[in-house]
Each structure stands twice: as structure tokens, then as C-alpha cells.
Amino acid sequence: MIKKAEKVNKFLKKTYPEVHCALNFSDPLELLVATILSAQCTDERVNKVTPLLFKKYKTAVDYASADAEEFMKEIYSTGFYKNKSKNIIAAAQKITEEFNGIVPDEMEKLLSLPGVARKTANIILGTAYGKNKGIAVDTHVKRLSGRIGLTKETDPVKIEKDLMKIIPQSDWTDFSHRLITHGRKICNARKPDCANCGMKVFCDFYNSKSI
């Protein structure tokens, strides 16, 4: 497993040397809001909604005091707007009251925020703060790590634990971004482009001939 992980990581580094978060943001608060909005929604759609949002709401206090009905209308197109609105406003209130208006840079504190689970916390820590404390497991990371054969787990938390054992900690954040990029470009959900995938020689999915 470790040898396979080394091959995967080496390939991804060579193929996607420069990677970044697909969500547009300029500070940790914006990334937190964008990440919560991205649940069950494309990054492209979120990036269309956030420019007006970020122009109107600039601080945690702004979000904390937002009118819930109005805010729901502003994020409506991202789906699950009631839940997302509730979580963003509640998270902002906690950030304002307990963290001096600053998005915390510690895993435990981030996980105490409404709407924040490990994936979101890892994205904030790794992308906004440059801290590799875990691996963000989204749908792409879950799909590819299973297909390639880096884990047999299906639960995101268990997948993350498996990946953390075999991927160097210094690469955790970029590994997630690279796997996501590969998932979007080559190994998509419905029709993976195995013919043009540089990882097919050591990919369980390809070698099982289930395609």
C-alpha cells in the first residue's frame, strides 16, 4: 500500500505541480463560507454566488447579524440554503463571541463551529493557514482513493485516516487538491478516461477490468 501511495503521490506531483483550491477566497472567513456553501454544490456555482456575498459581508460580525431570510435568498442557488444559512450565521456568531471575530486555526476549535466537519476544517487549516493537520476527503478524493486502491473504507473519516498513514504529512493539503484535479480532468464519476490516465498501471479499478 505504501509503495502504491508513493507512486500515486509522485505521479500527481509531476502531473499537477501547481495546485490550488478551486473556491475563490481572500481570507479564512471567505474560505469558510465558500466551503460550507460548496456542500452538494459545484465550486463553479459557489464562485458565482460569493462575489456579491463577500462584497456585502466582510466580517464575522456582518454574517452573525445577517437577516436569515435575506441571506437564504442570496445563497439560494447553492442548494440546501436553509441549512447553509443557519450554519454560516451560527458559525459567525460563535467566531464573534468566542474567537474574537477570527476564524480559528486549530482543528478542535474549527470542529466546534456549526456546519464544520473534518473536511471543511482540513480545507481551512491547509489552504488558508498552511497547516497540514489532515487530508480533506471530498467526493473526488473518496472516489479516486477507492478506485486506485489506497483504501477500502467508504466513510470519509476512515478514508482520511488510511491516507494519512501512507501520504507524507507535508503533502496532505496538496495531495487532496491534486486528487480532486485528477478526478475532474480524468477520473470522473460516470466515465473515467482510463485510456489517458497515467495511473492505470497501478490502479485497482483499471486492472480489475471492471470498466
DSSP code for 126: I
Q: Which residue among the candidates 43, 84, 138, 142 is catalytic per the annotation?
A: 138
Cα(211)–Cα(156) distance, rounded to whole angstroms?
A: 24
Strands in the chain per DSSP E: none
Buried b (16+ CB within 10 A) or exposed e, 9-29: bebbeebbeebebbbebeebb
| Residue at 98: amino acid letter | E
Cα(128)–Cα(27) distance, rounded to whole angstroms?
A: 7
Catalytic status, residue 171: no
**Element (DSSP H or E) covering residue 142:** helix 139-148
Buried b (16+ CB within 10 A) or exposed e, 108-127: ebbeebebbebbbbbbbbbb
Q: Which residue among the candidates 43, 84, 119, 200 is catalytic per the annotation?
A: 119
Catalytic status, residue 138: yes
The dihedral built from the CA positions of residue 139, 141, 142 and 148, taken in this order, carries a sign that is positive
Residues assigned a catalytic role: 119, 138
